Amino acid sequence: MLRVLADGPTYGYAIATRLADAGLGALKGGTLYPLLARFESAGLVAVEWRAGDGGPGRKYYALTTDGVRAWRDGAQRWADFARLTSELVTSGPDGTSAPADPAPPAVPAPPAVPAPPAVPAPPADPAAPAGAPARPPARPTGRPTGSSTSPSNGPQPVRNGARP
């Protein structure tokens, strides 16, 4: 907030608008005005009432010499904090600078799956001539499956008490 006041005297609503426009979100009056009052009590801002343009007067806030000093000190502390945080986030495990695009951690290969045991071929038909292929697979037995409604498939089951 002191940074906004470093640009020159302004009033509370303009400060809130400027902070919101900078992407810092909406600052409610219950937060803004008590903070400005604390700045005034600490001697960081000077207050001046000015007549409004066709409306009520406005309370303008301006940085004092101590306010400028507090703003610069705070800005330096913030820059130091941001630098140290950036170094912490981007440093490697031994404190050296991490590569710009680190390789993803190696993922171990899955264990080899043993091949299934070989299935023996069906025995040859003893009545077949030598060299003839093994007997064909057995044919399926039972009723045909499906959802056909033809009468040849027999009666259909009753579901949920409904009748066809």
| Mean pLDDT (the chain, rounded) | 80
Burial 76-103 (b: 16+ CB within 10 A, else e): eeeeeeeeeeeeeeeeeeeeeeeeeeee
Position 163 in a domain = no
Question: Residue 62 is which amino acid?
Answer: A
Q: Per-residue pLDDT tens for 7-28?
A: 999 999 999 999 999 999 998 9
Residue 59, phi-psi category: left (phi > 0), alpha (psi -120 to 50), beta (remainder): beta
Residue 51 domain flag = yes
Helix (H/G/I), strand (E/B), else coil: 148:
coil
Ranked by mean pLDDT, the top range of 38-42, 87-91, 145-149 is 38-42
> CA-to-CA distance for 24 and 156, rounded, in angstroms?
69
Total domains, the chain: 1
pLDDT on residue 54: 83
In a domain, 113, yes or no: no
Tell me whether residue 47 is in a domain: yes
Q: Give residue 37's pLDDT band: very low, low, confident or very high (50, 70, 90).
A: very high
- Going by pLDDT thresholds of 50, 70 and 90, the confidence category of residue 66 is very high
Phi, psi of 157 (to 5 degrees): -70, 150
Specify the amino acid at residue 162.
A
pLDDT for res 3: 93
Q: Residue 162 — very low, low, confident or very high, per pLDDT cuts 50/70/90? A: low
- Domain membership of residue 103 (yes or no) is no
In the prediction, which pLDDT does 150 show?
Answer: 52
DSSP state, 61?
A: E
Q: Flag whether 30 is in a domain.
A: yes
Domain that holds residue 41: 2-90
Q: Tell me, what CATH number does 57's domain have?
A: 1.10.10.10
Nearest CA among 36, 57, 54 for reference residue 46: 36
